[in-house]
Amino acid sequence: MEELLMNKNQRIFYLDFIRVIAILLVIFIHVSAIDTTLNVGSGQWQITKILNYFAHISVPVFFMISGSLLLNSKKTTSLSYTWKQRIPRVAIPFILWSIISPIVVGIYAHSLSMHNILTAVKTMLYQPTSPTLWFMYPLIGIYILSPVIKTFVQSATTEMLVYVTGIWLVTCSLLPSIAVMLPKNIGQLLQLSPIANFFLIGGFTGYFILGYLLTKIKVENINNWLLLAVFLIFGIAGNFTSEVFPKIFDANNGYYVTSIFIPIMSVAAFILLQKWGSRVKSNTTIGIFEFLSPLVFGVYLIHNLLILYVEPWFMANVPVHGLIATFLRYIVVLVLSILIIWILHLIPGLNYLLTGNSRKKK
């Protein structure tokens, strides 16, 4: 979610473009989640489920954007800048929304009490107070590690970066995916000893380094149709696999890494979006994406609380169902999220506290 650390004339537009597309997909995942549990087996259920699965590239893409930005910034090796500037800009909004979330949920459930709020806040270090806030834990961890990773990547060759991401893909993604699809007694043979875990390049750190790597290799000559085919084939295969082997989705959001289909889909999608974003010439389109991009982090933090209210109201009052209902709810949640965060964006101080943005030019 790292905002672009450049003035308007130096902005890398395709990263704005990818960031906005990613938040649109994140909101769709959460709005359509309930629809993946209704009318199971129907045609509309199948369409919703596959669209929901395709949208799962969004979280990896966010980590790749952060890697593209932070690992290309000279400021990243500064421990002072990291702890005084970068970490507060994600940690402070995270802490405040972690307090706001149980308050909003308590009001919704008519069970608001200081005890419930304090209980939620006390467990905040190891348990998110709102399900979607899980993303903040690996993000803040990667921010803390970013000076170490930057020190490595700035002296690493492209070959070394490919080697590192290859280790990550095999040990953290490929082996766990195969293990889930094999009988339990055979799958256990592929599990690495905890002592052998590659912690520094485990989890979402691999996406972070991968985002940087993709800025160092030439992607212009990769055929768009090939990228689209890889995205669709692995998306369809991944969706089918998740139905046959549900355990591949059992790892508390760790499936973003441990399901081999999602990393491959995400790389193909990132390169495609990078190429498409780089070709946008319309000033109107560029203006829209540059307006929305600074709002993305705030939209991420608030959208699930709006779903909490919008979803039951729609289901009780709007006489439409299926995909139409899904997209109607989606549009309402998206517009409300953008509107509220844009208003907060205009209020100095509150803007920084709740969205991590500062209206001052850097």
Q: Report pLDDT digits (tens) over 90-113.
A: 999 999 999 999 899 888 887 777
Per-residue model confidence (pLDDT) at position 243: 87
Per-residue model confidence (pLDDT) at position 223: 93
Per-residue model confidence (pLDDT) at position 359: 58
Has residue 212 got a pLDDT over 90? yes
- In 3D space, the residue among 199, 198, 217 whose CA is nearest the CA of residue 267 turns out to be 217
3-state secondary structure at position 83: helix
Please state which of the ranges 83-97, 148-162, 191-205, 316-330 shows the lowest mean pLDDT: 191-205
Q: What is the pLDDT of residues 284-336, one digit of tens each?
A: 999 999 999 999 999 999 999 999 999 999 988 888 888 899 999 999 999 99
Q: Which two tokens stand for residue 302?
A: 């608030």
Distance CA 92, CA 340 (A): 18
Has residue 10 got a pLDDT over 70? no
Per-residue model confidence (pLDDT) at position 42: 84
Check if the beta carbon of residue 139 is closer than 8 Å to that of residue 1: yes
Distance CA 222, CA 273 (A): 12
- In 3D space, the residue among 27, 51, 48 whose CA is nearest the CA of residue 329 turns out to be 27
Per-residue model confidence (pLDDT) at position 7: 37
Check if the beta carbon of residue 32 is closer than 8 Å to that of residue 51: yes
Q: At what angle do helices 322-345 and 43-54 cross, to 10 degrees?
A: 30
Distance CA 181, CA 183 (A): 7
Left if phi > 0, otherwise alpha if psi is -120 to 50, otherwise beta: which for 39? left
CA separation (Å) from 35 to 8, 32, 50, 248? 40, 5, 12, 20
Distance CA 270, CA 22 (A): 10
Q: How confident is the model at residue 11 (pLDDT cuts 50, 70, 90)?
A: low
Has residue 194 got a pLDDT over 70? no
pTM above 0.85, yes or no: yes
Q: How confident is the model at residue 8 (pLDDT cuts 50, 70, 90)?
A: very low
Please state which of the ranges 155-169, 187-201, 206-220, 272-286 shows the lowest mean pLDDT: 187-201
Check if the beta carbon of residue 27 is closer than 8 Å to that of residue 302: no
Q: Please provide the average confidence, as pLDDT, over all residues in the chain.
A: 88
Q: At what angle do helices 13-32 and 43-54 cross, to 10 degrees?
A: 140
Per-residue model confidence (pLDDT) at position 3: 42
Per-residue model confidence (pLDDT) at position 139: 95
> Which residues are within 8 A (CB) of 14 and not within 5 positions of it... i.e. 6 or more apart?
273, 274, 276, 277, 278, 280
% of the chain exceeding 70 in pLDDT: 91
Q: Which two tokens stand for residue 190?
A: 């592929």
* Average confidence (pLDDT) over 250-273: 90
More confident site: 47 or 11: 47
